[in-house]
Amino acid sequence: MSYQSAVASMFALGHELAHTPSHKFDLAHMRVLLAAMNHPERTFPSVLIAGTNGKGSTAATLASILRASNLKTALYTSPHLMRINERIRINGAAIADDDFAALHAQVDDLAERLVGHGDLPWHPSFFEMMTAIAFSYFAREKVDIAVLEVGMGGRLDATNVVEPLVSVITDISLDHQKFLGNTVADIAREKVGIIRPGGVVVTLPQQPAANDVIGNTILDLDAAGVSAVPFVPPVSPASPESRVPSPEQNQAPRYRYPLSVMGKEILVETPLMGRHQLRNVALAIAAAEQLGKERFTGITPESIERGIRETRWPGRFHVLPSEKGRPEIVLDVAHNPAGAWALRSALSERYGDRPLIFVFGAMRDKAI
């Protein structure tokens, strides 16, 4: 099967949630598929990241830190911006077209056989297929660790078949209510499904309803709760001393501030724009510190500092400078009310009261 045919076959399954019936969300089916694949997800350690906003930014920052620590690092995120391959990366490089096509053919053939034998009631969904392909690729390439972003929710998400070394929960707010519930507490109950009994969970204080669910779950499961509060910067990002020009033309100014990490002061310099991003950076630092304590001695204050500085995560307040009569353009993937407020704050910080033209597109399930 060619790469183009593989991608067409994937999208024929129904892209993301637009055509995904609720009965598709069942971890038992994902486990049947992975068992038939000899459980690739068990061949590498992982970090699992859930939340409403900030999952991708946290995952990208953490993966960059792990790469800077000389670990062969896998990163699985969703959705993609330009090409489906972006979702599956090792050391920053997206899976090659030929590898994607070959692994898709293997997983698809196996899924068809499982359906034919009655082991699966229907073909795996788009996201289940993507996740199985990613796990197979990471296992084949013998990665040292995989950073996995939950697609939606957590409890029944296809990624939640792993046994993570660390679970991370980013900010929780309203989104995907059709699938996850109509209140922040309902949605939080789905997110905390990634916490394991006796496991480690990294998070930050947030809305009271979410805090209650997270805290009670940590107590009920006898998990170790780790707060990333010590890594939230002590200075305002809007202050002159914390803003420095970016070396890249198409990025907003970086934030720069000192932090004590693993007993040593480092200078955090992140290219991620917006006050909200500093919470995501803090979560990534806290998760990296935990991984350093638990297993990976190569994670050091220096590698954390370097990894943050080298993070690349396009589409998050991504500034395209004006040229040849075209105005400056900001690209951002804000797609729910909380994301829109964060975008508004970042726009105000950069442009003040300057008039802006706003172009907005969204899927039908969003709170337009």
Q: Average pLDDT, stretch 253-259? A: 81
What are the Cα distances from residue 341, in Å, to 53, 81, 203, 219, 358? Answer: 11, 21, 21, 32, 14
What is the rounded CA–CA span in Å between residue 64 and residue 70? 10
Q: What is the pLDDT of residue 25?
A: 61
Give helix 27-36 / helix 126-140 axis angle, nearest 10°: 40
Domains and CATH numbers, the chain: 3-309 (3.40.1190.10)
- pLDDT (0 to 100) of residue 350: 85
Mean pLDDT calculated for residue range 29-37:
97
The Cα 130–Cα 33 span in angstroms is: 12
Query: 191 CB contacts (<8 Å, ≥6 apart)?
Result: 50, 51, 52, 150, 153, 154, 155, 169, 172, 214
Number of other CB atoms surrounding residue 42 within 10 Å? 14
> Strands 224-227 and 200-203: what pairing?
parallel
> Predicted confidence band at 249 (pLDDT cuts at 50, 70, 90)?
very low
Q: How many CB atoms lie within 10 A of CB 220?
A: 11
CA distance linking residue 179 with residue 168, whole number of Å: 21
Alpha-carbon gap, residue 68 to 92, rounded angstroms = 11
pLDDT, one tens digit per residue, over 54-76 is: 899 999 999 999 999 999 999 99
Q: At 18, is the secondary structure helix, strand, or coil?
A: coil
Compute the average pLDDT of residues 298-308: 97
pLDDT at 26: 75
pLDDT band at 36 (very low <50, low <70, confident <90, very high): very high
**Angle, in degrees to the nearest 10, between helices 55-68 and 301-309:** 130
Per-range mean pLDDT, top range of 3-17, 172-186, 290-304: 290-304
Q: How far apart are CA 214 and CA 187, in angstroms?
A: 11
Q: For the chain, first and last CA: distance in Å? A: 39
Higher pLDDT, 29 or 179: 29
| DSSP letters for 226-245 | EE-GGGS-SS-TTSGGGEE-
Find the mean pLDDT for residues 38-58: 95
Q: What is the pTM of this model?
A: 0.89
Confidence of residue 236 (pLDDT cuts 50, 70, 90): low
Tokens at residue 50, please?
């859930």
Percent of the chain with pLDDT over 90: 64
Question: What value does the mean pLDDT take over residues 331-335?
Answer: 88
Q: 317, 263 in Cβ contact below 8 A?
A: no
Reported as a single tens digit per residue, the pLDDT across 106-155 is 999 999 999 999 999 999 999 999 999 999 999 999 999 999 999 877 88
In contact, 147 and 28? CB cutoff 8 Å: no
Average of per-residue pLDDT across 75-82:
93
**pLDDT confidence bin for 23, thresholds 50/70/90:** very low
